[in-house]
């Protein structure tokens, strides 16, 4: 067994590998760029080596620097995590040639299966059903359009070395095929150093189901059940679960055996995943094989009780698998939410910056510790006060729950999301809360087009209807009453003008464009010792009991005897009004003023101050790097014409003109780092 390994990665996966290595008594070496010098994985590792500037092509993707760090520290093996160099066969071969063990498959297996084009050819030769398409690299956008026409729209344009949604577009017409090809090549070149692109038929209404497997150097290979990964947005997984509620035992067995047969054909060692697209009739087709650890591996760990990182390390060290296919368990139900730094209310654009608050829900399961089941686990590479840089993937962390069945797992995940406090950057939590509450998701009635179908207009606050909206008003009144109670106890108040606590209030809910809604509430039987109050909102009564302390964001306790967790904030953080209280629960968020009856009457007379008209400007919708300006002053521009391209978190975002017009001024320059809502172009 190794005594020291280097982790050629960053973020949560680096921290995840460190935890297992520590459990096994193996020392760890972290590598870091300038942007990650204070990152959590650097702090957790036994040693850390600086490898260059923030862009990954100058640090995490430079094989020479990784190998030099390995030799410098005396590490005997490299764990590549996922992304970066994890599926680079040339890197794996170079590592082996340098006398270092690569904790992953052998380079020849990776070359055969890690390349999407070659893997399809191999799968076809092995008799595996493959989706129609052209499995050779396409050189020009014009040729891509020609091929797409031949296959028939819609088509999927994919980078051969792609992954994680990078270098992938779906095209429904010639224009989208042409532009998609160019964007795919650019993203693939920047993220993976390989710009080969191919085209295949896009199967509509598919399920995305993948088989986790692990093989050793002694010819043993087993599959560890499946993962349901059909909830995707822009081909990036949002929610994953294991097992799948869709496939039958017979389909599960057939998919698993086919995945193992494919792995055996390339003498596969280590953990790997074979991805399938599954039709309504449970017919399945090979998509690709990921020759690495997957982001969503924790759901498999939860239902099998296996530490996949430990198995990878043991296999790399030459050990035999400690289990046979008959030993593989499937116990309970696990769900994972990828918590990303993106704003779901701004079309999921990246959100970078400092994590002013990062307070995950209480963990009862832990990575690398499989002694505790059916609880909550958080895999993260960040901490409060840390930065979410613009140079890497948008993932903040992964939230995993394990329950005895699917409905219990959904309930646990909703409660965990309610208690997850993230401030300083926007996160995908409200959107995931909405997905978990959607009746079709709860029923298991979905496919990979679920988000596109149900949120085709984007995601809006009104897409998250609360099953008891008055509860949010009751929480606002409860917290306001606590503030009033504290104010009344302050000494030195002027006689005759002391703060009166009161029991009768009006809750004014603030809308998006100055509109308001009012509702009378009463707060009685306040007990400071037990933290209990009876709140009446219209005809509804809420007996709230909580030890909530003023200034905290998370509030938990019981409501009418049932446990609850929500989030409350008062002050300018609520945005619309410095006196407002923001309440968030089950993905629904309100901003409310809790006022006396007279104050509510006066508030109704206050004029609405409309925001300034910025329609003449093209604004940066997110923080990022301006990589291209496609217009110049005096140029006539038509609606839908490309104006600028912004790159953030390894994704290209193209800005188009909303209407016809003439460019008055170009206000930003190529290569400039932009902030949210920074003007780029002004129309005359």
The architecture (CATH level 2) of 469-489+500-603 comes to 2-Layer Sandwich (3.30)
Are 419 and 565 spatial neighbours (Cβ–Cβ below 8 Å)?
yes
What is the secondary structure of 269-302 as a DSSP string? -EEEEEEEEE-TTS-EEEEEEE-S--TTHHHHHH
Characterize the bridge pairing of strands 284-290 and 333-340. unpaired
Residue 602 token pair: 């006066």
What is the secondary structure of 593-622 as a DSSP string? EEE-HHHHHHHTTSPP-PPP--TTEEE-SS
Cβ-based neighbour number of residue 672 at 10 Å: 15
- Sheet with strand 155-163: strands edge to edge: 133-134, 197-201, 155-163, 166-171
Fold of the domain built from segment(s) 132-201: Dna Ligase; domain 1 (3.30.1490)
- Cα separations (Å) of 533 from 28, 59, 536, 567? 52, 56, 10, 18
Residue 466: its pLDDT value, please?
87
- The CATH class of the 340-437+456-465 domain is alpha beta
What is the pLDDT confidence band of residue 1, given thresholds at 50, 70 and 90? very high
pLDDT above 90: residue 615:
no
- Give the tens place of pLDDT for each residue, 288-313: 999 999 999 999 999 999 999 999 99
pLDDT above 60: residue 662:
yes
pLDDT above 80: residue 127:
no
Most confident of 18-32, 282-296, 610-624: 18-32
DSSP code at position 528: T
The strand pairing partners of 559, in sequence order, are: 544, 562
What is the pLDDT confidence band of residue 381, given thresholds at 50, 70 and 90? very high
pLDDT above 90: residue 635:
yes
Q: Whole-angstrom Cα distance, residue 315 to residue 216?
A: 5
Fold of the domain built from segment(s) 106-131+205-331: D-amino Acid Aminotransferase; Chain A, domain 1 (3.30.470)
Q: What are the E-state strand segments in 73-165?
A: 77-79, 101-102, 133-134, 155-163
- Cα separations (Å) of 51 from 54, 143, 651? 9, 39, 23
- Lowest model confidence (mean pLDDT) among 20-29, 112-121, 151-160, 529-538: 112-121
4-103 has which CATH code?
Answer: 3.40.50.20
- Give the tens place of pLDDT for each residue, 455-465: 988 898 777 77
Residue 501: its pLDDT value, please?
81
Mean pLDDT of the chain: 91
**C-alpha triplet 64, 65, 66: angle, nearest 5°:** 95
pTM to 2 decimals? 0.84
What is the pLDDT confidence band of residue 61, given thresholds at 50, 70 and 90? very high
- Give the tens place of pLDDT for each residue, 539-551: 899 999 999 999 8
Q: Whole-angstrom Cα distance, residue 118 to residue 131?
A: 14
Q: Whole-angstrom Cα distance, residue 477 to residue 318?
A: 62
Domain borders along the chain are: 4-103, 106-131+205-331, 132-201, 340-437+456-465, 469-489+500-603, 617-683
Report the length, in residues, of the chain: 684
Sequence-distant contacts of 602-609: CB under 8 A, at least 24 apart: 603/508, 603/516, 604/516, 604/518, 608/513, 608/514, 609/514
pLDDT above 50: residue 47:
yes
Residue 653: its pLDDT value, please?
85
The percentage of residues in the chain with a pLDDT greater than 70, rounded to a whole number, is 98
Q: What are the E-state strand segments in 93-154?
A: 101-102, 133-134
Residue 187: its pLDDT value, please?
87
Residue 164: its pLDDT value, please?
66
Yes or no: domain 617-683 corresponds to CATH 2.40.50.100: yes
What is the pLDDT confidence band of residue 529, given thresholds at 50, 70 and 90? low
- Lowest model confidence (mean pLDDT) among 62-71, 315-324, 539-548: 539-548
pLDDT above 80: residue 575:
no
Q: Which of 228, 288, 296, 647 is catalytic?
A: 288
Q: By C-alpha distance, which of 622, 614, 615, 632 is closest to 673?
A: 622
pLDDT above 80: residue 572:
no
142 catalytic residue (yes or no): no
Residue 57 token pair: 């092509």
Most confident of 122-131, 222-231, 586-595: 222-231
Residue 337: its pLDDT value, please?
98
Identical fold for domains 4-103 and 469-489+500-603, yes or no, is no
Backbone angles phi, psi at 267, to 5 degrees: 50, 55
- Give the tens place of pLDDT for each residue, 241-282: 999 999 999 999 999 999 999 999 999 999 999 999 998 888
What is the pLDDT confidence band of residue 576, given thresholds at 50, 70 and 90? low
What is the pLDDT confidence band of residue 647, given thresholds at 50, 70 and 90? confident
- Lowest model confidence (mean pLDDT) among 177-186, 293-302, 575-584, 617-626: 575-584
Residue 574: its pLDDT value, please?
45
Q: By C-alpha distance, which of 97, 86, 189 is closest to 137?
A: 189
């Amino acid at each position: 067994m190794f005594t020291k390994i280097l982790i050629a990665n960053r973020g949560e996966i680096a921290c995840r590998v460190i935890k297992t290595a520590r459990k096994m008594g193996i020392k760890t070496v972290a590598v870091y760029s300038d942007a990650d010098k204070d990152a959590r994985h650097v702090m957790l590792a036994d040693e850390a080596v600086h490898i260059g500037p923030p862009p990954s092509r100058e640090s995490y993707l430079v094989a020479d620097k990784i190998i030099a760090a390995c030799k410098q520290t005396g590490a005997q093996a490299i764990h590549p995590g996922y992304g970066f160099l994890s599926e680079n066969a040339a890197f794996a071969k170079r590592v082996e040639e340098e006398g270092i063990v690569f904790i992953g498959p052998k380079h020849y297996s990776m070359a055969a299966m890690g390349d999407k084009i070659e893997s399809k050819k191999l799968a076809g030769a092995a008799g595996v059903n493959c989706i129609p398409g052209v499995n050779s690299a396409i050189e020009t956008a014009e040729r891509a359009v020609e091929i797409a026409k031949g296959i028939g729209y819609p088509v999927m344009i994919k980078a051969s070395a792609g992954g994680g949604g990078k270098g992938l577009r779906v095209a429904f017409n010639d224009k989208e095929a042409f532009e998609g090809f160019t964007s795919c090549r650019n993203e693939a070149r920047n993220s993976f150093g390989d710009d080969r692109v191919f085209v295949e038929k896009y199967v509509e209404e598919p399920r995305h189901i993948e088989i986790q497997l692990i093989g050793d150097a002694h010819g043993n290979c087993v599959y560890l059940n499946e993962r349901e990964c059909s909830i995707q947005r822009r081909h990036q997984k949002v929610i994953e679960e294991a097992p799948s509620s869709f496939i039958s035992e017979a389909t599960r067995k057939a998919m698993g055996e086919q995945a193992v047969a494919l792995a055996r054909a390339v003498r596969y060692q280590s953990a790997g995943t074979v991805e399938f697209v599954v039709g309504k009739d449970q017919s399945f087709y090979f998509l690709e094989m990921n020759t690495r650890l997957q982001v969503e591996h924790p759901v498999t760990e939860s239902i099998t009780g296996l530490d996949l990182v430990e198995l990878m390390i043991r296999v790399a060290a030459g050990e035999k698998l400690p289990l046979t296919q008959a030993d593989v368990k499937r116990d309970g139900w696990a769900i994972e939410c990828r918590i990303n730094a993106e704003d779901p209310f701004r079309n999921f654009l990246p959100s970078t910056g400092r994590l002013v608050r990062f307070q995950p829900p209480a963990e009862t399961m832990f990575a690398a510790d499989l002694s505790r089941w059916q609880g909550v686990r958080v895999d993260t590479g960040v901490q409060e006060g840390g930065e979410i840089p613009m140079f890497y993937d948008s993932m903040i962390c992964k939230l995993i729950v394990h329950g005895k069945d699917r409905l219990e797992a959904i309930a646990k995940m909703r409660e965990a999301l309610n208690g997850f406090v993230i401030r300083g950057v926007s996160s995908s939590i409200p959107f995931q809360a909405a997905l978990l509450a959607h009746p079709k998701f709860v029923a298991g009635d979905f496919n990979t087009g679920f988000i596109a179908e149900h949120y085709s207009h984007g995601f809006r606050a009104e897409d998250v209807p609360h099953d008891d909206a008055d509860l949010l008003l009751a929480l606002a009144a409860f917290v306001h009453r606590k503030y009033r109670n504290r104010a009344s106890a302050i000494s030195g108040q002027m006689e005759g003008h002391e703060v009166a606590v009161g029991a009768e209030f009006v809750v004014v809910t603030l809308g998006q464009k100055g509109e308001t809604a009012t509702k009378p509430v009463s707060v009685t039987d306040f007990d400071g010792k037990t933290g209990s109050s009876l709140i009446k909102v219209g005809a509804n009564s809420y007996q709230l009991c909580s030890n909530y302390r003023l200034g905290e964001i998370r509030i938990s306790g019981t409501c009418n005897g049932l446990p609850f967790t929500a989030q409350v904030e008062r002050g300018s953080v609520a945005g619309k009004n410095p006196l407002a209280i923001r309440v968030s629960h089950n993905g629904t968020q309100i901003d409310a003023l809790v006022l006396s009856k007279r104050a509510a009457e006066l508030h109704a007379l206050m004029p609405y101050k409309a925001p300034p008209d910025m329609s003449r400007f093209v604004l940066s919708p997110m923080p990022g790097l301006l990589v291209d300006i496609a217009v110049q002053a005096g140029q006539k521009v038509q609606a839908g014409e490309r104006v600028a391209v912004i790159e953030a978190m390894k994704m290209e975002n193209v800005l188009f003109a909303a209407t016809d017009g003439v460019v008055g001024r170009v206000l930003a320059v190529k290569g400039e780092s932009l902030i949210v809502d920074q003007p780029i172009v002004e129309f005359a």
